[in-house]
Structure formats: C-alpha cells, structure tokens
Structure 1
Amino acid sequence: MSEGLIVLVRSIIAFFTLLIFTKILGKQQISQLTFFDYVLGITIGSIAASLTTDLSSRAWPHWVGLFCWSVLGYLMEYITMKSRYAAKYIEGEPTIVIMNGKIMEDTLRKMKYRVSDIMELLRNKDVFDLVQVDFAIIEPNGQLSVLKKPEYDNIKAKDMNVVCQPSGISTELIYDGILIEENLRQLDKDKNWIIDQLHAQGINDISEVFIATLNPAGSLYIDKYEDHIKKVTDIGDYKGPY
C-alpha cells in the first residue's frame, strides 16, 4: 500500500473520529470557549494530525490518545455541569477589573493583566475613554464585558436632536506612577498643568497615580493606586475554592 493511500485512509478515520467526538463533546461556539476548552481543542486536533500524517508509527496509539483526550474532555464537562464548585475551579469565574469607574490594580496583577491590555479590550468594545466606564468584567473566556456610566449609554445623540462634539481618543499622561512628558507635549500641556490637576483632586504626588488619561475634548481621567473602595462587588455565583 503506497504512502498516499495510507494517508488517505488515516485521514478518513481521523475525520470521522473527530466528527463523532466533537458531536459527543457538544462544544460551545469558538467565542465562548474557556482557556481549558481552547487547549483541549488544540491538543485533540494535534493528535488527529499526527494520526493522519505520522507514518513512522502505527495508527492505533494515536487513536487511543485521541479517544482518551476526548473522554477526559467529556468527563470534565459533565463534572462542571453537575458541580458549581468544580466549575469555578476548572473554568473560572467573571472578575471585575473596573468598579465604579476605578481600576482594580490588585486584581489586574493577580490576573497578570496590564492596564494597556484592558484598554485594548475596551477599544474592541468601542470604548476609547476610561471616563465612560462604570464597570468592566473579564469573563472566563477572556472577553471583556463593559457597563458604561449612564451619561455615556448607547442612546444616539441624533435621536434626541443633540449636536455632540467629537471627544477623540484618550492619551496616557501617567502610567504606573510615571509621567509621560512626550504625551503631555503632544497635547500642549506641561508638568505644572498636570500637577495642578492632581492637586485639585487631593493628590500630592504623581507616584500616587496608577493611570491618568486625557482626551482632545479635555476630559481627564485619574485613577489612584489607593481607590478606597470599601466593599468590592463579588459577581461569582458560588463560593468555590478561591
């Protein structure tokens, strides 16, 4: 039997095996996959590829590996459906990263996120200014859910016959306690100006500021390291292992 024919037969076997296993697993849409589902899918696909093209070894060990991974994936799905405790440990829970307009720096550090990552996710949600955000939540699948402040909701200005001036994209002036003077100059501002703005909000030193941004319309957003939020909202649905 030629190598081409062997690959053809193995491809057919791998194709229908994957088809059967994915139907059994009943996976969600790609946009809803958790990190565990993502890794599981890559691993199963890699094993199927080896089953198809690795002619240096017999087919059945690859098929056994494919079968075992699929069974374990199905078992994990069954466990997470039956136990919220296990689901929280395996899949994770949504985590608030912006609360009442304040960035939760400690939460970002625990999740190994940078504020620039959050701002990128916000832009993907058509939010270009931190001033607009009331709550932002990282979902278990890595996506960001955003609740805007009431004054920045999605009511269109044209529906109310209101003429709005463009606000532009916010520019970082302070990042992680460090002043970005080049950005200040681009906005025709200087260090004394930002210091005066900080003093007006009771902030004595730039090092107290986690991030500060300014948009061309003049809207200044300042977030301190110490936000003094007395009670952090917990949106988890079960008190699991963490």
Structure 2
Amino acid sequence: MNDLIDIVLQTLIAFFAILFITRIIGRQQVAQLTVYEYINGITFGSIAGTVATDLGQSTWGHIIGLFLFGGLTLFMAYLSKKNRKISKIIQGEPVLVIQDGHILEKNLEIFHYTVDDLVHLLRKKDIFNITDVKYGILETTGELSVLKLAEKENVTTEDLKLKTSQEELSTDIIVTGKIIYENLKKRNITVNWLTGQLKMMGVKNINEIYYATLDKDNKLYIDYYNDNLEKPVEITE
C-alpha cells in the first residue's frame, strides 16, 4: 500500500515538474524539432518516468536531476539565441542538396541521407523530376524546402487553356554507380543500349554517376558525383 502511495505521489511530482519546465522552455511541433531537441525530449521523458516509478532510490535525487536537466536545456536554448556560432553547433544548419537539378552528394552525406531519402522527400513535395528543382535545401529538422524552376511553378495548363501530355514516373537506372538491372528488365532495356547511351553522353566510367533515371521516352537524366557547377551557391555564412 505504501509503495502504491509513493508511486502516485512521485507520478504527480513528475507530471507537474514536466509541465512546469516545458512551459518555461517553450514548445514546437514535433515535425519542427531538430535531432538534438528530439533526443533531448526523449531523455527528459525517461528521467521523468524514472521519477514516477523508481522506488529503489532517492526520489528527491531524481527530481533534482530532472530540474537540472531542464535547467541545462533552458541555458543552452538561451545561449543559442545569443550566439550564432553556438546555435550552429547545437542546432546544426540547413544544407543545400540540390542546385539547378544537380544533386550535391557531399552535402547530402552531411545528413547521412541517401538518394532514395532525397527522392522520397521530393515526392512528398509533389516533385517527381529532379530537373524541375532550382534549389533544394535540407533543413535542420530533416525536412526539404524546394524552390522550383520558374517554368515549373504551379500554373495549371487548364488555366492557360493548353493541351499537354501526361508526365509519367521516371525509373531509377543507376544509383551510386551501380546499374539497377531489375529496372532495366522492366523497361525492356538492355545493358548494351544503356552503355551506348552513356558513351554518347560522354560518360567514360559508370562509377562517375551518382544517380540516373529514365523517363517514359527513354530520355536519361544523369547526376554525376562531380557536378562541376559554374556558380556553386553557399547558403550559410
């Protein structure tokens, strides 16, 4: 019976402690949390859970730890607001991953994202062709912000009274220098045809290619490891 009463009291203490600290720290939507904030929240909740249920150790020790962790979180949030460099260390910074339809592989790897992850994020933005993208920025929350090419902005053909053909999904043909043979088979494309097309496009070695797709008209889109952009854009200081 005493254990039950202790659990009830400790749970109430943990509940109102979290309520008090989170009200001070502030709030964000889960989708807007950085990795640091997400892990911080999990740790915070874990400590609170220990406060509520652990009867084997000092309750006050756990409570002090809970408030200390909350205080450190608040202190780091304060430092982040006051100092841009500290904010970049703690929160990270956005990274440009697409420029003028080219994937910036080295920047993508900073987030440990694969090309499949990037394509998935583009589809969530209703973008099925990387060449439609002027700039793609991977935010610290893991979300992708996209600026389309001017001619690809969302003006409907119905508005302009134009007749157009329906665009179809492209097929992944090469990913990180490796041919996707299953997809070639689905499109009734031979390896000889593909290598011939690559030679005509000046590709000397398939390992030069980071990502390649084939559209409905068998037109190849190729993104190279070395993009050789004339004017690479920097979005951070």
What is the TM-score when the length of structure 1 is the normalising length? Answer: 0.90
Report what 1:135 is aligned to.
135
Moved over 6 A (4+): none
Report what 2:60 is aligned to.
60
Say whether 1:102 aligns with 2:91.
no
Report what 1:36 is aligned to.
36
Please report the RMSD computed on the Cα atoms of aligned residues, expressed in angstroms: 1.8
> Could you say if the C-alpha distance between residues 207 and 11 of structure 1 is closer, same or farther in structure 2, counting changes exceeding 3 Å?
same
Show CA shifts across 1:47-100 (max 9, x none): 111111112222111111110110010001100100111111111111011111
Alignment of 1:1-242 (within 5 A): 1-216=1-216, 218-236=218-236, 238=237
CA distance in 1: counterparts of 2:149 and 2:218, whole angstroms: 18
The answer to whether the Cα contact below 8 Å between 2:170 and 2:214 also exists between their aligned partners in 1 is yes
CA distance in 2: counterparts of 1:2 and 1:215, whole angstroms: 70
The answer to whether the Cα contact below 8 Å between 1:131 and 1:219 also exists between their aligned partners in 2 is no
CA distance in 2: counterparts of 1:219 and 1:159, whole angstroms: 28
Cα displacement (A) at 1:219: 4.7
> Could you say if the C-alpha distance between residues 4 and 217 of structure 1 is closer, same or farther in structure 2, counting changes exceeding 3 Å?
farther
Cα displacement (A) at 1:202: 2.3
CA distance in 1: counterparts of 2:210 and 2:179, whole angstroms: 10
CA distance in 1: counterparts of 2:232 and 2:109, whole angstroms: 16
> Could you say if the C-alpha distance between residues 59 and 164 of structure 1 is closer, same or farther in structure 2, counting changes exceeding 3 Å?
farther
Unmatched tracts of structure 1, length 5 or more: none
The answer to whether the Cα contact below 8 Å between 2:102 and 2:131 also exists between their aligned partners in 1 is no
The answer to whether the Cα contact below 8 Å between 1:166 and 1:217 also exists between their aligned partners in 2 is no
Show CA shifts across 1:109-132 (max 9, x none): 343221111112212222222232
The answer to whether the Cα contact below 8 Å between 2:212 and 2:223 also exists between their aligned partners in 1 is yes
Query: Share of identical aligned residues, percent?
Result: 39
**Secondary structure, aligned partner of 1:221:** strand
Cα displacement (A) at 1:194: 2.1
What is the TM-score when the length of structure 2 is the normalising length? Answer: 0.92
> Could you say if the C-alpha distance between residues 70 and 204 of structure 1 is closer, same or farther in structure 2, counting changes exceeding 3 Å?
same
The answer to whether the Cα contact below 8 Å between 1:187 and 1:216 also exists between their aligned partners in 2 is no
**Secondary structure, aligned partner of 2:90:** helix
**Secondary structure, aligned partner of 2:19:** helix
Cα displacement (A) at 1:102: 0.8
Q: How many residues align?
A: 237
Cα displacement (A) at 1:217: 5.1
